[in-house]
Chain A
Amino acid sequence: MIVLQALVNGLVSGTLLAVPAIGFTAMFAVLRFPNFSVSGVATLGAFAGYLAYGAGLQMAGSLAVAFIVAGAAGLFFDKVAHLPLVKQGALPAAIASIATGLVLENVVRLGFGNEPRGYDRPIARDVYLGDIRVSPQQLETMALALALMLAVFTALAFTRIGKAMRASADNPELAALKGIRPERIAMMASFVGMGLVGVGGMLFGLDSSIDPLTGTRILLSIFAAAVLGGLGSAPGAVLGAFLIGMAEELSVLVVGSQYRAAVGFVAILLVLTLRPRGLLGERAF
């Protein structure tokens, strides 16, 4: 029974994790460097959403604010700091992205301090399905996350820009030959990718509380989900997120909650040793 409850909890946190993991992996597919500033951007999104929610916006509206603010920050930093460095290789850009993540984290710290803050959501009684307990709030955040993911996949599958993005991720030269402008695709990837990361930060904040390290705490899980599914693969990121979410919850039963964050690292090592291209390979979609 405890195991079943852990699996359900894992399903919930996996759904939340899938959102930033898709964002991270999509950026990797198009921009070709691991963007470590997801930690700072997730924090920024969480605080932007917090302010919007405090100002009286609905949950969906607050998430939209988190998306736009985080996306804009991602676009800005890619433009001024990361992408100019990608020409020298993925490493300089990755290193710069650590610095930009740190910048965002500390801008938030300057404004809000280190104390944790909670979104003031109405309190609701837990729902029991048999012996499994879920809170209506968890269900709400899960539904929002699922809706957002559905929107992303629909856009990738059916819209012009979505198809262009996939084409560009698969083979940039060929896509450019077909008249797809790579800079526009890159900008789109920066904005949407980091927007998703920002929403992810807020979704995790809704479940507990937020502080400047909110993003840093989910960083390894995001990486693990993306690497597990195959770096650059959006469906892989979703699969990876569910697996990591459940593995993290199960690990709490075995080694206690303090090693939750290590699960992602162990998963990354295992995948890289046994199946280096991830479960679904590195194809974008």
Chain B
Amino acid sequence: MLSYLLFIATVGGVYGLLALSLNLIWGGAGMVNLGLAGFFAVGAYASALLTTAGHAPIAAGWLLALLAGGLAGLIVTLSTTRLREDYLAIVTLGFAEVVRLMAANEIWLTRGADGISGIPGPWKRALGQDFNAVYFLIVVGALMVVFFVVRRIDRAPYGRALRAIREDAQVAQVAGKSVLRFKTEAFALSAAIAGLAGALYGHFTSYIAPDLFLPLITVYIFLAVASGGTGRPAGALLGAYMVMTLLESSRFFVEWIPAVTAVQRAALKELLIALALIVVLRLKPSGVLPERIPPAPRAAPGGTS
């Protein structure tokens, strides 16, 4: 039971990282990333490949995951940021699909649908039974670091500039903020966090395959951010654990329904998540922890900000 809870808590933490990543751009800058699962996969594969085929230390894998995620984010936004949000939605969705295609077909690199197994976990052999607990702490540590970084951004002038862009990009541009640069940077940082989440996931379960990075994960994270509170890091984090709870309890719930096949059970679960997202968006779009917009600091005499 304890190890089950630890497993759930760790995966929930990974989702929490993804939620923080999405919140940074969706809540922060009003951009959307429908390809979150793709950046998640990029990080997972980058780190897994470097540490299995490349025999590099795990920390190097995590660093590479951050960089690979950020780079992928840059590539995706370069052609689309100056354009409208609806285009970005379409492009990011396509990106995730292409990542999955490549993971499934570039067998020389990714071993295709078989996936990569035997991804090393930190001190796994020495820890034995305690691995899950220690890994949970590692994920919590990563969460804390990312949380404080994004909250710092949220409250800094940088975050205010992002929010200004979210509310009205034209006004922000007139006020001298380089909208394009802010958007690109925020998206790349967000994608890097998603990449790190992917690496943490891979080294925890020690196995990744293309089928683990379905668009459904993106829907989970949107549900997490929307229900927790768009624009507030703590809300995103809370939302991630709410989604995790919903997912796990729905598993028990569908077991109760008599005479359904495994396929139908999976369908019911997806149905539940999708309906939950629609209901949250319609009825309580501000989430459990609504955004708090701190008053702008008074300009110091002679100050410009």
Contacts and interface: CB of A to CB of B under 8 A. Distances in A.
Contacts of B86: 28, 33-34, 90-91, 94, 231
B34 A98 contact: yes
Contact of A113 (B90, B105, B263, B275): B263
Contacts of A34: 86, 89-90
A212 to B, nearest CB: 8
B42 to A, nearest CB: 15
A185 interface: no
Given A96-B281, A258-B101, A269 B91 contact: yes
Contacts of B282: 80-81, 84-85, 96
B293 interface: no
Interface stretch (B114-122, B146-154, B241-249, B264-272): B264-272
A141 to B, nearest CB: 25
Interface in A73-113: 80-81, 84-85, 88-92, 94-96, 98-100, 102-103, 105-107, 109-110, 113
Chain A, interface SS category: helix
A19 B32 CA distance: 28
Contact of A272 (B79, B270, B281): B79
B90 A227 contact: yes
Contacts of A106: 267-268, 270-271, 274
A265 B219 contact: no
Contact of A265 (B89, B94, B273, B285): B94
Contacts of A80: 282
A44 B88 CA distance: 27
B172 interface: no
B278 interface: yes
Interface in B138-167: none
B85 interface: yes
Interface residues on A, range: 35 or more
Interface in B257-300: 261, 263-264, 266-268, 270-271, 273-275, 277-278, 281-282, 285
Nearest to A94: B89
Given A110-B268, A272-B80, A99 B278 contact: yes
A258 B84 CA distance: 30
A95 B93 contact: no
B238 to A, nearest CB: 19
B95 interface: yes
Interface of A: 28, 33-34, 36, 80-81, 84-85, 88-92, 94-96, 98-100, 102-103, 105-107, 109-110, 113-114, 219-220, 223-224, 227, 231, 258-259, 261-262, 264-265, 268-269, 272-273, 276
A270 to B, nearest CB: 8
Interface in B211-230: 215-216, 218-219, 222, 226
B257 to A, nearest CB: 11
Q: Which 6 A-B pairs have the closest CB atoms?
A: A265-B94, A102-B274, A109-B267, A99-B277, A106-B267, A99-B274
B123 interface: no
A85 B226 CA distance: 13
B278 A96 contact: yes
B278 A100 contact: yes
B97 interface: yes
A272 B83 contact: yes
Contact of B277 (A88, A95, A259): A95
Contacts of A92: 281, 285
B87 interface: yes
Contacts of A114: 263
Contacts of A113: 261, 263-264
A227 B224 CA distance: 30
B300 to A, nearest CB: 35
Contacts of B216: 102
Contact of B79 (A84, A219, A269): A269
